[in-house]
Structure 1
């Protein structure tokens, strides 16, 4: 046949066509470049060179050029996978059958799925296998035109046998070096390697397509570590070491810099609250990245509250502007709708959505644990396309003790893979470092030989002892005589300022309302509420007010959920913490007398809240379990033994042992699913599905399933949520103290045509989003209060001012006033 085309594009300069050969070569070159840094270039290149073989048919060319057939009606993804299955792998001599089978498996799932999501290699009930559809009956099916594809391969100049043989040799070398002898779960690692290869293919495909239409659509970011280090060290030189606390902070920072010469591996940064670990870990990352030529630094934060604060701190320290291309904040998927269909004909909506999906290609990424875990657990290409950019990077996990327990074993396997196979250096930061390697020893955490980045003496640690923990066992209601609100107000009067941290958003709202009823404001206190019901810009404004008041010594009461416990640099005269896990109590204590303003230690009160006011804890199992351990074990022990230190290592070890014991025995650390399986097994050997396939569905003997990959990628990808029942992000109506108004940004978005400018606006709108649970999203949508503001980017907006309170944020049950449709 004549010239074959991959896609068409209508531009102001006319109608353009990209040849199929150009697209395959361009995608192959990009995929190879992505994977070369970890030695997997040939594997990624083979997937990319073969992914669109199905376009080499008359049916696809008529569909593309003449519009014959409905969108997506001409199948073109499977034919490349068929070619992989038929290829010879003997170009380099003797064939390792196991490695060639693994190569086939990896290439086939990536190629066949490059416009959707990775499949279940064996379906969840063991009744079918993805690889059963690579056989002769499918190849002979006229809908695939596979015979025509094979006859046209020569015109494309592709040597499929050599590509596959090169890929197999490459995979064999990496397997022998990084996977064969590893002590961690090999099958889990092979699944992650499959995702990595798929990520390289999907991102290369999207980038090549975008650059054909617009050569500047996908910018390339090269990290200038020297310049960033110069900016950091200039800023750091201005920091004072004139107090005992500041002197220890400076030593922690120096040790982090000195540790940067250590090789790639998994490390820990364990320093007390207030030890300056945010900037110290950044210092390590910058110097380590320069030392080992890493591509980027990824800073992963547990709570949305401090993502923008941390990004702002990094911009200040590194001398970056708000729109500087060096740093990307990514903590919301608002405006980044999933790709739901396959198209190669110019489709502006689809092109814009693909462009908006973050690739994490910038030198510095600030994101959340939700984004990190849900990327690694994803099966869809829209989520996984950024996964390959975690390779050869420095990844810092702040407040690792906040890792959801249901994903602990998954997390260990992921970071093992990132460090051992993809060459990433991992840093686990916290003031209450749980010994992850000792929790569920059936799943290893392969720490570096010398994992501690910093060592502090007893004297240095003693400097950070600025508080006393005062406990009580009698639960208090929030309202009423002798309730928590009255207790908080009393402690605020005694100390001038008070932080009250509770476990639920409903508690925070009720406590704030009750303090208002008790006259806290009329008594001179500024009263601030903080929770994730507020958008990021709203929380930033509230935190700025808190900082200003605490810095000037003004009377203030702040009521917050646990979001204030991680990395928020504020200092109160006293803290009242609703009973919760020990890690949360230690973190809350870090907001009291933080800089040693008082020579005498200040009190942190741990108070159980009545069950009637914490009914919602049944849905937050980790917090509920932590509260139970504190109330029934550690608090009574501390009451009986005055020498028992709730802030000491003995208490932390006792707490972690009690917290994880039942979870280990019940497989609760492997992300259990309702049907009795768990994500850890489904992404590893998948023993149950193999058994069902071999003995029930195909009872031909124990070797009926011959493939290396058996992972249920799609099942896990579609069921996994870090926060269960959390649904879409919505933009709310809010004007920040800096003058940025979400309504104005939405108007700009509606009037804008340039996709790149739309992406810039969407990034700014992240600060004005709130994530809603399924029930609240449904409730507000049914009332007509949530609308789809932008079809191109699937951007949802809460249209009601009445449902966004200037004190509390989103209030789903608020009554509407004068609402006209």
Structure 2
């Protein structure tokens, strides 16, 4: 009897034949129709190497190391022709360690070619128990070539996407069958959702809103236009709606309607920043209640520390995070795209569960320019080939129709839900004024006459300097501060603004009650604040317009004011130069024509930047695709900063002590106590013996005098006066 697994709790054994057949059936079940037969064959062959005598000695207790993954890759190489066999070989050879690089020549490394050149014990016994199926090669080749024309680059990109997708089906099937056999307890239930009842609740909420003022009527008309147009079938929907027009609820309603109409399995809400997820999740949790169990997957959130959650729900969510087998998921753009372009089973397990879904991309314009092509390709492939639909949501919409056709030509049907933009001018609640160059002193002096002012700068050190110079009631926000403290500051700001509204409804606020908020760009997207005036340092047009969304947000005045300024001697990038020219050319930079011109320059004059991180640029042959190298280099947020954990309460001090004495870390629980510094700043703290990683690679602040709850991390201790 050839054994694949042994249950350590019951001492039962699962044969290799049973496991391979179970995995093949699950793999086929997970796959789209065009990939079912290939998935079944890959599942059948993945553990053929366990028929080696050495592996059987190991599973029976002998302490030896036996490589088994590559044997299945060799077997499918003998059975099927190229490039079909290559797709399976990448997946089978890497189903434990991750999809390898293809490699070159007679490599003796961990590349696919290197592994295939190794010598293995005889595993022919599999032929007596497992029969690899015959496959329709022509049908598979036609599916692979569809939409690629004669373009070899598109063929490479599509082949790599489908390889990762097959890998996702295989490793999730393998993990699921293994877990089912080896588990010690009852099967944990799955998260639940009732989309019909959720839609009823969102309709009740939307109908409850007052529609009396001109702005409220316009908001309702704009939303109705989006709902009406969303009944048309498409792969990708574009919702271009101004700030304050109710995009979040409108997109959720459209997603629910499409999910019900098209019988989709799940809705995945993708948000650019961790800091925005809390607010979005809170809105949905409050609105949908028990009818929707939300799965949150982000680096700053841990189900282990959420003691207020039902134990049953928490355990179900912890398992669902591994493969996104849940009906409603809120995650970050980093998690979503790095899951598509990883090579590891831990991340790629989720990819096949992006099929049959509605994907909502909030603030879609924030997809990074350097990775725009792979991001758009991933969405195009998931919606065209995996039976999903995507919704792009933003107040500053690039020409995504043109971008998708240029960089991700999968012949997706694209539907623009807002065709009539004449209503946009009703949402122009502020005017943008170019101040030109100012000194920090001049900026603060100018801001003092306004009752509540938000000053947004590009650099953390400038935010800190302004905060220290500022007098009166003031607040500071930057990533020098931990997420723990930023959340407290945001809550304090909201309470103070609410208090000012209640105490001074006429807006005539005495000087001693006026407030100043000084922040970096982290406050621009998804943070619902309504201040009297905004001052924004020159940056990309999208950033400036996002800043304007914090000014006169509720339209209580005819026009708010957003002042755009520059500091002396600050270097400018291409986006700043484009914005500076548009400020001079347009009376109102929030006009659709201005936004269109901005993105035309940003995206279409820098095509080499957009394409440089696509797989076909790295390799032009199926046989030596650099899956591992590409995954290791795929970083949506360049790692130019370092994280440092700062103890802020009793819980975080215990976590740091655990790390110090046991070397065991809980990264998710530590995340909200981290702030970011440059490598140079971290080196300075280490040099002063106030930061240590205790040999774990996770740096912690060991002297709390080097942190201030208002300023954040300090590079020298606070002074003591005796």
Is TM more than 0.5 here? yes
Q: TM-score, normalised by structure 1?
A: 0.76
CA contact (8 A) 1:308 1:536 kept: no
Larger displacement relative to structure 2 (414-423 or 779-788): 779-788
CA contact (8 A) 1:549 1:555 kept: no
Q: Deviations over 1:470-516 (max 9, x none)?
A: 1022x2233xx42x33333x2xxx2210111111222222222221x
CA contact (8 A) 2:358 2:390 kept: yes
Q: Deviations over 1:156-195 (max 9, x none)?
A: x3111x1xx2475773464366767999923211110100
CA contact (8 A) 2:381 2:410 kept: no
CA contact (8 A) 2:17 2:130 kept: no
Distance 1:176 1:682, change over 3 A: closer
State the Cα distance separating 1:744 from its structure 2 match. Answer: 6.7
Distance 1:125 1:308, change over 3 A: farther
CA distance in 1, matches of 2:13, 2:155: 44
State the Cα distance separating 1:247 from its structure 2 match. Answer: 2.5
Q: Which secondary structure state, in structure 2, belongs to the residue aligned with residue 733 of structure 1?
A: coil
State the Cα distance separating 1:244 from its structure 2 match. Answer: 2.4
CA distance in 1, matches of 2:644, 2:40: 39
Distance 1:537 1:334, change over 3 A: same
2:391 aligned with 1:427, yes or no? yes
Q: Which secondary structure state, in structure 1, belongs to the residue aligned with residue 356 of structure 2?
A: coil
Distance 1:529 1:422, change over 3 A: same
Distance 1:773 1:289, change over 3 A: farther
2:509 aligned with 1:551, yes or no? no
CA distance in 2, matches of 1:334, 1:797: 19
Counterpart of 1:398 in structure 2 is: 362
Counterpart of 2:70 in structure 1 is: 78
State the Cα distance separating 1:587 from its structure 2 match. Answer: 0.9
Counterpart of 2:309 in structure 1 is: none
State the Cα distance separating 1:535 from its structure 2 match. Answer: 3.7
CA distance in 1, matches of 2:301, 2:92: 26
Distance 1:415 1:773, change over 3 A: farther
Counterpart of 1:584 in structure 2 is: 543
2:339 aligned with 1:375, yes or no? yes
CA distance in 1, matches of 2:326, 2:533: 41
CA distance in 2, matches of 1:240, 1:309: 23
Residue of 326, 332, 335 corresponding to 2:294: 326
2:430 aligned with 1:467, yes or no? yes
Matched ranges for 1:697-736 at <5 A: 708=622, 710-726=624-640, 732-734=646-648
Residue of 68, 85, 91 corresponding to 1:110: 91
State the Cα distance separating 1:248 from its structure 2 match. Answer: 2.7
State the Cα distance separating 1:221 from its structure 2 match. Answer: 3.7
Larger displacement relative to structure 2 (544-553 or 573-582): 544-553
State the Cα distance separating 1:223 from its structure 2 match. Answer: 4.0
CA contact (8 A) 1:725 1:773 kept: no
CA distance in 1, matches of 2:706, 2:12: 48
2:721 aligned with 1:807, yes or no? no
What is the number of equivalent residue pairs in this alignment? 692
Counterpart of 2:588 in structure 1 is: 645
Residue of 182, 188, 195 corresponding to 2:164: 195
CA distance in 2, matches of 1:768, 1:788: 17
State the Cα distance separating 1:425 from its structure 2 match. Answer: 0.8
Residue of 5, 17, 20 corresponding to 1:21: 17
Matched ranges for 1:391-790 at <5 A: 391-439=355-403, 442-444=406-408, 449=413, 451-458=415-422, 460-473=423-436, 475-478=437-440, 481-482=441-442, 484-488=443-447, 490=448, 494-515=449-470, 519=471, 521=472, 525=473, 527-553=474-500, 555-598=514-557, 600-611=558-569, 614=570, 624-631=573-580, 633-638=581-586, 644-664=587-607, 667-671=608-612, 678-682=613-617, 686-687=619-620, 690=621, 708=622, 710-726=624-640, 732-734=646-648, 741-743=651-653, 767-770=672-675, 783=689, 785-787=691-693
State the Cα distance separating 1:253 from its structure 2 match. Answer: 3.4
Q: Which secondary structure state, in structure 2, belongs to the residue aligned with residue 528 of structure 1?
A: strand
CA contact (8 A) 2:299 2:668 kept: no
Counterpart of 2:131 in structure 1 is: 159
Matched ranges for 1:265-284 at <5 A: 265-284=235-254
CA contact (8 A) 1:399 1:430 kept: yes
Counterpart of 1:339 in structure 2 is: none
CA distance in 1, matches of 2:152, 2:200: 40
Counterpart of 1:695 in structure 2 is: none
CA distance in 2, matches of 1:26, 1:732: 47
CA distance in 1, matches of 2:534, 2:200: 38
Q: TM-score, normalised by structure 2?
A: 0.86
Distance 1:105 1:450, change over 3 A: closer
State the Cα distance separating 1:709 from its structure 2 match. Answer: 5.1
CA contact (8 A) 2:168 2:350 kept: yes
CA contact (8 A) 2:297 2:332 kept: no
CA distance in 2, matches of 1:449, 1:152: 46
Distance 1:255 1:327, change over 3 A: farther
Matched ranges for 1:67-216 at <5 A: 67-69=62-64, 73-87=65-79, 100-122=81-103, 132-133=113-114, 138=118, 141=119, 144-145=120-121, 148-154=122-128, 157-160=129-132, 162=133, 165-166=134-135, 168=137, 171-172=140-141, 174-175=143-144, 185-214=154-183, 216=186
Counterpart of 2:504 in structure 1 is: none
Q: Deviations over 1:686-722 (max 9, x none)?
A: 23xx5xxxxxxxxxxxxxxxxx454321221111211
CA contact (8 A) 1:200 1:385 kept: yes
- Segments of structure 1 that go 5 or more residues without pairing to the other structure are 90-99, 337-353, 618-623, 639-643, 672-677, 691-707, 753-757
